[in-house]
Structure 1
Amino acid sequence: MKFPAPLGLAIFAAMASTLCNAADAPWVNPAVTAASAQVIDLRHSIHQHPELGNMEVQTSVLVAQQLKSWGIEVRTGVGKTGVVGVLRGGKPGAVVALRADMDALPVKEMTGLPFASKAEGVRLGKTVPVMHACGHDAHTAMLLGAARVLAEHREDVPGTVVFLFQPAEEGAADVDDFDTHAVIGAKAMIRDGALDSPKVEAVFGVHVMSGYPSGHLYYKPGTALNSADDFRITVNGKQTHGSAPWTGVDPIVASEKIVDGLQTLVSRRIDLTKGMGVISVGSINGGTTTNIIPETVTLSGTIRTNSADIRDTILAKMPTLVSGIASAYEVKADLEVMHYAPVTTNNPGLTEAMVPALELAAPGKVERLPASLSPSEDFSLYAEKVPGLFVFLGATPEGQDMNKAAPNHSPYFSVDDGTLTTGVKAYVQFVLNYVGRVTGKS
């Protein structure tokens, strides 16, 4: 259940007071060091054998086998190809969830790494190259490392840990992007009870980021990442010869006006004192040759905001704007919107309470972000159900120029293996330093 703001802040204010004197369990660093070689090997193996969303069959098998080998309860087939592990600690405490995503992207790898992907996959019937271009291989390996460390020291673990290995964070390879009936990713995990058995009290996630130095952790209370909604507009006119446009109805001209009009939703129709919004058209398809005005043009794009109010305003006003422009140009426009994720919001009290835990994971290398970041994440769906904290882990070696690092989703994107131990420690310290309601501390 999502906490009302006053209650949540009161609970986690008490946690913050407790954590000010947080002390690192002496076994954590040696245990993480002992697991580090396996974490790197797992990451390389997963990187070399990436799988698209909802197709993470072999990755799921690997995850389940590793969890079982450490005596962790395992459920498979959650959210289609997801895996849930449950570790019951030896001390009283809360039920805390740790989440990692497993899916890769339809990108051809160009890194030249010795373990670079040469894999291909099938996306909507089309064969495509596949690469871990956003670091989900690192996320999966780091969470496996944390699972091993916690399992080996379960007698010292408070409460219960739920490990969420999620498919399809980037979308599903077997589902059309605009299939509004599809339930994938975090939404499918939640539907299948990932937060319910046992009942999770708080959820934590870590995401590697290019252009930030390896081994550094970044956090922000409140809004951390944008919302994301995709749209597709099919504009239908009347095909005719390009030399006589008056004999048809031109969907290309109408489409251009729709693209222009969409920008006014941000510049003229939303209250920018509440945050930001971006509407980007990423694809325009129509026509086959120079002298034929086509019957149909298709536009597709994305809507990103860091404010729920702004998101609601854009989504409410977009249909009227599109239909109005279409009417003016005597075309028909069919608008489809696919809701991916709300704004990723870190519970403010929980975030402040866990800063000492972050410091234990990365001493002297923890920084509060001055503003939210522009990408989006379906971790936000978990954080709507229970208090959540999503933090960012630098992935670029400290000696490199951060401004020249290949960004996430680039075919040249890479993760420094040296940062993985920090990610493992962050997951472990979240568990060891969370003080929940069941302890009586709140």
Structure 2
Amino acid sequence: MSEHAPEIESILKTVEADVDAADGQKPDRHFIPTRHFCTLDDTLDSRAELQDIRRHIHQHPELAFNEIHTAELVASRLEGWGYEVTRGVGGTGVVGTLRHGTSRRSVGIRADMDALPIHERSGLPYASVHEGKMHACGHDGHTTVLLGAARQLARTRHFDGTIHLIFQPAEEIGSGGGAERMLADGLFERFPCDAIFGLHNHPGVAAGTFMFRAGPFMAACDTVAITIRGKGGHAARPHQSIDPILVAGSLVMALQSVVARNVDPNETAVVTIGTLHAGHAPNVIPDSARMEISVRSFSAEVRASMEARIRQLATAHAEGYGATVEIDYVRGYPVLVNSERETAFAQQVAEELVGAERTVGNFHRIAGSEDFAYFLQQRPGCFVRMGNGANQPLLHNAGYDFNDENLTVGAAYWTRLAERYLSDEF
């Protein structure tokens, strides 16, 4: 900071003179409107601490709405750094608030905390100690990156306004997850945010690379359960039965026409039959068959048309064979839509921090889903992707691990973004 001392002192004197002339009030001397925004070097001294935190969280994964230990670790760290901490938001969520200066502007940054019901097979020395649970999506890293930013922001306070750091539970469970619960608990009423930002790691891209896309970025995700009711009987006398497996097989093929023949080729959509269960013996025609489908889309119009077409196909196929059908169509996360201005700003911050060569604009759409979309329905903002390594295991894989190279880079990014957003240059 020594190289900036003359500049800071000059700015402070100017501010004091302006305020003195206005009303004789002295400004808060702890608030220095410096132009020094966080760099990659500024967070390097926290690398060992952040790595220890991340690996501890990785070793002790907790599933949705059971993030008791993780939430307390987060809350205690934030309190130790001087944050006003609110526990139990939307269940096990934590919000850390830091105010500085006089501006009424505010910004929110969110990280998710929950793990997945997957048995870890990474072989790492800090692998999960809880059988059947692991951080296979990197939420341990997302949480730690935001803690790293919390530490840096608290010790430098190079911003003017209010920062709300949102540690969310239950991102992985689909409908009724942590974002919805936090919003229902009055998140933005209790912790007002002019804009909201979030981040997810992205295997297959070099670590420390940031990817952005304005507009629809991640897909809406709906889940459909279709139960076909037929008439069971002996395998040797199929004419006396109504075979639900035959109906299901025909329907599987027909459902592939939904995207191929009912969705505009300029749009993106996915229909995947993930499960199909029927029968228990080779010489028995069962009474029923059940399939479960994942449906993904990037616009409200396509989403509605796909639901209508799937319902029509399932009903018509069942009736055509003399069977009946029960359809349970559950709408999950909505399309994640990044706002134009905040996305351009978030990309600019990345370019300042890591350079244009490690920043990708107009990144391709991602068919995965994310409940951060609910936050973006209520506030402008941007969801960012950060490369986790070109040759790293994929998300939701039993061998996955968050790349620790990203810890200080991500912390510096969130710090700089908050500083820049809460400055007169935004």
TM score, norm. by length of structure 2? 0.87
Give the equivalent residue in structure 1 for 2:378: 385
Q: Going by fraction, where is strand more abundant, 1 or 2?
A: 1
d(CA) in 2 for partners of 1:235 and 1:417?
A: 48
- The question of whether the paired residues in 2 share the 8 Å contact of 1:24 and 1:360 is answered with no
Relative distance call for 1:394 and 1:370 in structure 2 (3 A) is closer
301 and 24 in structure 1: CA distance in 2 versus 1, 3 angstrom threshold: farther
> Radius of gyration: which is bigger?
2
CA 1:190–1:296: 2 relative to 1, 3 Å? same
Q: Pick one of 294, 302, 312 that aligns with 2:294.
A: 302
Aligned to 2:411: 424
Task: State the distance in 1 between where 2:258 and 2:329 align.
Answer: 16
SS at match of 2:188: coil
1:433 equivalent to 2:420? Answer yes
| Aligned counterpart, 1:183 | 176
Corresponding residue number in structure 1 for 2:325: 333
Number of the residue aligned with 2:395: 408
Instruction: Give the match for residue 106 of structure 2.
Output: 95
Q: Whole-Å Cα distance in 2 between the matches of residues 367 and 386 of structure 1?
A: 24
> Is the alpha carbon distance of 1:27 and 1:342 closer, same or farther for their aligned partners in structure 2, counting shifts above 3 Å?
closer
- Measured after TM superposition, the shift of residue 303 of structure 1 is 0.6
Q: Is the 8 A contact 2:227 2:290 kept in 1?
A: yes
Counterpart for residue 160 of structure 2: 158
Q: Which secondary structure state, in structure 1, belongs to the residue aligned with residue 203 of structure 2? A: strand
User: Are 1:142 and 2:145 matched, yes or no?
Assistant: yes
Is 1:170 equivalent to 2:157 in the alignment? Answer: no
Q: Aligned AA for 2:351?
A: E
> Deviation digits for residues 139-164 of structure 1, max 9, x if unmatched?
0001111111112223x222111111
In structure 1, the partner of 2:351 is 359
Give the Å deviation of 1:26.
5.3
- What do the CA deviations read for 1:1-51 (whole angstroms, capped 9, x no partner)? xxxxxxxxxxxxxxxxxxxxxx96256545422322221111100000001
Deviation digits for residues 379-427 of structure 1 (CA, Å, limit 9, x no counterpart): 111111111201111111xxxxx3x532111111122211111111121
Whether 1:104 aligns to 2:115 is: yes
Structure-1 separation of matches of 2:352 and 2:102: 21
Residue deviations 1:247-273 (CA, integer Å, cap 9, x gap): 121111111122222222211122222
Aligned equivalent of 2:58:
47
Q: Distance in 2 between matches of 1:215 and 1:409?
A: 20
User: Which runs of at least 4 in structure 1 moved beyond 6 Å after TM superposition?
Assistant: none
Extract unaligned runs of 5+ from structure 1: 1-22, 121-128, 172-176, 397-401
Q: CA deviation at 1:435?
A: 5.8
1:346 pairs with 332, 338, 349, which one? 338
Report the 3-state secondary structure (helix = DSSP H, G, I; strand = E; otherwise coil) of the residue aligned with 1:417: coil
> Do structure 1's residue 233 and structure 2's residue 220 form an aligned pair?
no
Aligned residue among 18, 25, 28 for 2:36: 25
2:237 match = 244
| Amino acid aligned to 1:76 | R
Counterpart contact for 1:99–1:166, Cα < 8 Å? yes
Instruction: Look up the SS of the partner of 1:374 in the other structure.
Output: coil
Q: Which residue of 1 aligns with 2:197?
A: 204
Provide, for residues 337-371 of structure 1, a one-character-per-residue CA deviation record: whole Å limited to 9, x for no partner.
Answer: 22221111111122113322112332341111442
Q: Report what 1:260 is aligned to.
A: 253
CA displacement 1:144-186 (0-9 Å, x = unmatched): 11111112223x2221111111111110xxxxx7xxxx73221
Matching residue of 1:223: 216
Partner SS state of residue 100, structure 1: strand
Cα distance in 1 for partners of 2:102, 2:353 equals 22
AA partner of residue 231 (structure 1): V
| Structure 1 counterpart of 2:136, from 133, 144, 149 | 133
Q: Deviations over 1:179-235 (max 9, x none)?
A: xxx732211111111222132111001111111111111111112211111111111
- Shifted more, 182-191 versus 325-334: the winner is 182-191
SS in 2 for 1:80: coil
Q: Provide closer, same or farther for how the CA distance between residues 205 and 27 of structure 1 changes in structure 2, counting only shifts above 3 A.
A: closer
Mapping for residues 274-293 of structure 1, pairs under 5 Å: 275-293=267-285
How far apart in 1 are the matches of 2:317 and 2:198? 42
Offset at residue 431 of structure 1 (A): 0.9
- Contact 1:108–1:130 (CA under 8 A) maintained in structure 2: yes
The separation in 2 between residues aligned to 1:360 and 1:39, in whole angstroms, is: 23
Instruction: Return the alpha-carbon distance in structure 2 between the equivalents of residues 265 and 29 of structure 1.
Output: 47
Aligned length: 392
Distance 1:369 1:132 in 2: 29
Tell me the SS of whatever aligns to 2:205.
Answer: strand
Q: CA RMSD in A?
A: 1.9
User: Structure 2: how far apart are the matches of 1:93 and 1:361?
Assistant: 26
CA distance in 1, matches of 2:336, 2:315: 31
CA contact (8 A) 1:93 1:159 kept: yes
Query: Structure 1 pair 228/27, CA: closer, same or farther in 2 (3 Å)?
Result: closer
Distance 1:322 1:220 in 2: 35
Residue 7 of structure 1 aligns with which residue? none
Letter in 2 for 1:432: E
Cα distance in structure 2, aligned partners of 1:86 and 1:295: 57
SS of 1:196's equivalent in the other structure is helix
User: TM-score of the superposition, structure 1-length normalised?
Assistant: 0.84
Q: Distance in 2 between matches of 1:90 and 1:28?
A: 22
Structure 2 distance, partners of 1:26, 1:210, is 28
1:313 matched to 2:305: yes
Give the CA deviation at 1:90.
Answer: 2.4
